[in-house]
Amino acid sequence: MALMTAEQYIESLRKLGTRVYMFGEKIDNWVDHPIIRPSINCLAMTYELAQQEEYKDLMTATSNLTGHTVNRFTHLHQGPDDLIKKVKMQRLLGQKTASCFQRCVGMDAFNAVYSTSFEIDEKYGTSYHENFKNFLIEMQEADYTVDGAMTDPKGDRSKAPHQQEDADLFVHVVEQREDGIVVCGAKAHQTGAVNSHWHLIMPTQSMGENDKDWALSFACPSDAEGVYMIYGRQSCDTRKMEEGSIDVGNKKFGGQEALVVFDHVFIPSKYVFMNGEYEFANMLVERFAGYHRQSYGGCKVGVGDVLIGAAALAAEYNGAEKASHIKDKLIEMTHLNETLYCCGIACSAEGWKTKAGNYQIDLLLANVCKQNVTRFPYEIARLAEDIAGGLMVTMPAESDFDSETVVGRNGETIGQICDKFFAANPAIPTENRQRVMRFIENMCLGSSAVGYRTESLHGAGSPQAQRIMIQRQGNIQGKKQLAKDITGIED
């Protein structure tokens, strides 16, 4: 099958029997639901740009498995050039959507499972790697979106999976069959889960021998029997259900998360890529986390580009664009944003070849990248809010600006009063100021904050998770030896 168009992708979702619940009720037509549809539009952009000649070098690649042209989101990185193009592609998509386009987790999972399954087979003589290659070819040829699922609910964080009072708090095997396995559990905070055709499951942490039943990697379709999803709420999400286009901020695009539940789901053997090899759980976690932390040096930068532009527009519309402190704030926002991009490019350029043949990023630099992402977008957002001013969160509703209710002594309507008192730069229509204020509010505080501000902190692991990896990868002993060599200290 050729690369799907955006329209074909959306229609393909209609053919799935995915079970989605929101606000306590089953959503039958979730594809057209006003809260969900912006996230579908966002993901559809990964298909739309792949069809455009000017972006094909970034958006597509040649599969090492088939020799066919595939969407880069289904590609196995073959060198530093692929890793760098990945970051540039993510920045481009962030610029086009100002939100989370949701397909990165699957791409990062593909590359982590590919190399890890190879090394499991190398030790145990299993057939996981061949299983995975066949699965990935299936995904590439159909141009499917796959949700890379790592995060378990975890329960009591002080206890390992086998110690939890409820075994389902980590995805685990409940039955081993000759033709496959049966699993129970859930994956939480799953980006793009509802909008995906398939799910690629991975363990969420390192595990011991007693955790064998939880050391799992497998794939299953979104509408497999026993799989259902509970949609995650976002700030200001019900604004998408209102009439009008201003108050929602970003009417067309948005992100999504969901709780994905596995209630005695049968997984055929051909879709199993790890089953009890607990000592490889940490390898898979670290490799996926590294790829995904690299991703943030692209996607968050692209969204940051849009936020910087919106802040500059707000300054212009407020009549303050020439103030020196405004210029300085925009410079600082740009400096922070480009520093994140530098980190994404650096860990890509320093990538190394795995035993399986695909390329892994530099883990230390990827974790430095994500550690910066936990901080810099918050400062970029703070500066954007500073430039925009308080009107960003105190402005009357769009319906007030449209109101024809007469309130003024001279017959002025509520709409006319709002238009009069919220005008600033006389060369700019008040509506333009409305739009950019709501847009900044949405990016910094509303539903798009899920794909920028809040996700920058918790996505791809908490800040502490990166600090642990920086400690492991930082080679303090080697640095101590450098100091000893120069100072003449001998042990």
Residues noted as catalytic? 100, 104, 191, 257, 292, 296, 299, 455
Helix (H) or strand (E) holding 466: helix 463-473
- By the 8 A CB rule, do 452 and 307 touch? yes
Is 436:81 a contact under the CB 8 Å cutoff?
A: no
- The span from the CA of 255 to the CA of 104, in Å, is 12
What strand order describes the sheet that includes 258-268?
Answer: 25-26, 20-22, 227-231, 258-268, 180-187, 172-177
What is the sign of the dihedral through the CA atoms of 471, 333, 252 and 241? positive
Whole-angstrom distance, CA of residue 40 vs CA of residue 18:
14
Going through 120-164 in order, the beta strands assigned E by DSSP cover 146-149
* C-alpha–C-alpha distance, residues 324 and 254, integer Å: 34
> What is the Cα–Cα distance from 138 to 68, expressed in whole angstroms?
12
Nearest to 288 by CA among 125, 123, 117, 168: 117
Question: CA-CA distance, 420 to 408, in Å (whole number)?
Answer: 12
Tokens in use for 56? 């094909």
Number of H helices, E strands in the chain: 17, 14
Q: Identify the residue whose tokens are 């954007």.
A: 384
457: number of Cβ within 10 Å: 13
State the Cα–Cα distance between residues 446 and 255, nearest whole angstrom: 11
Q: Are 430 and 423 in contact (CB under 8 A)?
A: yes
